[in-house]
Amino acid sequence: MRALNFTFKRRITYANNRSLFSKPLIQKFSSSSRTYDAFSPLDTFPRRHNGSSDSDVKRMFDVVGVKDMEDLASKTVPANILSKRPLALEDGLTEHELLIRLKKVASKNKIYKSYIGMGYADTIVPPVILRNILESPGWYTQYTPYQPEISQGRLESLLNFQTMVTNLTGMNVANASLLDEGTAAAEAMLIAYSAGKQKQHTFFVDEKCHPQTIACLQTRAECFKIKVIVGNALKHDFDQYGKDLSGILVQYPATDGTINDYTELANKIHSLGGKIICATDLLALTLLIPPGEWGADVAIGNSQRFGVPLGYGGPHAAFFACKEPLVRRIPGRLVGVSRDPSGIKAYRLSLQTREQHIRREKATSNICTAQALLANMAAMYGVYHGPEGLKAIAKRIHDFTNTLAGDIKRHGYTIKTDHFFDTLNVHIEGGSEAIYKKALNAGINLRKVDDFTIGITLDETVTKDDLVNLIRVFAKDPTYIPSLVDVEKSNIPEQFIRTSSFMQHQVFNSYHSETEMLRYIYHLQSKDLSLAHSMISLGSCTMKLNATTEMIPVTWPEFANIHPFAPIDQAEGYKILIQELEHDLAEITGFDGISLQPNSGAQGEYAGLRVIGAYHKSRGDEKRDICLIPDSAHGTNPASAAVSGMSVLNVKCNNGDLDMKDLEEKASKYKDRLAAFMVTYPSTFGVFENGVLEACEIIHNYGGQVYMDGANMNAQIGLCKPADIGADVCHLNLHKTFCIPHGGGGPGVGPIGVKSHLMPFLPGHPVIKTGGDKGIGPVSAAPFGSPNILPISWAYIKMMGNEGLKSATHYALLNANYMARRLSGHYKILYTNQNGMCAHEFIVDIRPFATSADIRAIDVAKRLQDYGFHSPTMSWPVSNTLMIEPTESESKAELDRFCDAMIAIREEIREIELGKQPKGDNILTNAPHTIQTLVKPTWDKAYTREQAAFPIKYLRERKFWPTVGRLDDTYGDRNLICTCPPMEDYLD
Domain residue ranges in the chain: 41-68+789-914, 109-543+562-566+959-987, 592-785
Question: What three-state secondary structure class fits 724?
Answer: helix
Q: Which pLDDT does position 6 carry in this prediction?
A: 44
Q: Are strands 873-874 and 202-206 parallel, antiparallel or unpaired?
A: unpaired
Q: What angle do the packed helices 54-64 and 790-824 form, to 10 degrees?
A: 50
Region 102-120: mean pLDDT is 98
Provide the pLDDT confidence category of residue 25 given band limits of 50, 70 and 90: very low
The amino acid occupying position 246 is S
Phi and psi based region of residue 307 (left: phi greater than 0; alpha: psi -120 to 50; beta: remaining): left
Give the model's pLDDT for residue 21: 32
* Fold equal for 109-543+562-566+959-987 and 592-785: yes
Q: What is the number of residues in the chain?
A: 988
Query: Is the model's pLDDT at 31 over the cut of 80?
Result: no
pLDDT mean over 182-200: 91
| 3-state SS track over 45-90 | CHHHHCCCCHHHHHHHHHHHCCCCHHHHHHHHCCCCCCCCCCCCCC
Q: 678 pairs with which residues across the strands?
A: 707
CA angle, 598 then 599 then 601, to 5°: 80
Q: 385 or 15: whose pLDDT is higher?
A: 385
What is the CA angle 256-394-558, rounded to 5? 75
Which residues make Cβ contacts (< 8 Å) with residue 739, sequence separation at least 6? Answer: 544, 545, 546, 547, 550, 792, 793, 796
pLDDT at 16: 38
CA 740 to chain centre: 10
pLDDT of residue 631: 86
Residue 470 neighbours by CB under 8 Å, 6+ apart = 115, 404, 439, 444, 456, 462
Buried/exposed 289-316: b ≥16 CB within 10 Å, e otherwise: bbbbebbbbbbbbbbbbbbbbbbbbbbb
pLDDT of residue 656: 84
At 26, is the pLDDT very low, low, confident or very high (cuts 50, 70, 90)? very low
Crossing angle for the helix pair 69-76 and 790-824, to the nearest 10 degrees: 80
What are the residues whose beta carbons fall under 8 Å from the beta carbon of 987, sequence distance 6 or more?
A: none
Identify the CATH number of the domain defined by range 41-68+789-914. 3.90.1150.10
Helices 692-701 and 660-669 cross at an angle (nearest 10°) of: 10
The residue among 135, 158, 426 whose CA lies nearest residue 309 is 135
For residue range 426-459, what is the model confidence (pLDDT) as tens digits?
Answer: 999 999 999 999 999 999 999 999 999 999 999 9
Quick check: 5 pLDDT over 90?
A: no
Give the DSSP letter of residue 487: P
Contacts of 126 (CB under 8 A, 6+ apart): 307, 380, 381, 384, 517
CB 413 within 8 A of CB 474: yes
More confident residue, 9 or 89: 89
Spatial contact of 860 and 925, defined as CB atoms under 8 Å apart: no
Structure confidence at residue 30 (pLDDT):
43
> What's the CATH class of domain 109-543+562-566+959-987?
alpha beta
Q: Predicted confidence band at 3 (pLDDT cuts at 50, 70, 90)?
A: very low
Q: Report the 10 Å Cβ neighbour count for 438.
A: 16
Hey, which residues does 752 pair with through a beta bridge? 595, 731
Given pLDDT bands bounded at 50, 70 and 90, which one contains residue 633? confident
Angle at 798 between CA 794 and CA 802, to 5 degrees: 125
Strand partners, 279: 251, 300
Residue 566 and residue 216: Cα distance in Å, rounded? Answer: 20
Closest C-alpha to 173, from 358, 297, 355: 297
Distance (Å, rounded) from C-alpha 143 to C-alpha 533? 12
* Residue 690: predicted pLDDT: 93
Burial (Cβ within 10 Å: 0-12, 13-18, ≥19) of residue 196: middle
Average pLDDT, the chain: 93
Confidence (pLDDT) at 197: 72
Give the fold, CATH level 3, of 592-785: Aspartate Aminotransferase; domain 2 (3.40.640)
Distance CA 491, CA 258 (A): 11
Q: Tell me, what's the pLDDT at 655?
A: 85
Q: What are 902-933's pLDDT values in tens digits?
A: 999 999 999 999 999 999 999 999 999 999 99
Question: Which amino acid is residue 519, in one-letter code?
Answer: R
Which pLDDT band holds residue 7 (cuts at 50, 70, 90)? very low
Average pLDDT over residues 454-468: 97
Write out pLDDT tens, residues 340-365: 999 999 999 998 654 444 455 565 57
Give yes or no for residue 29 having a pLDDT over 60: no
How many CB atoms neighbour CB 552 within 10 A?
17
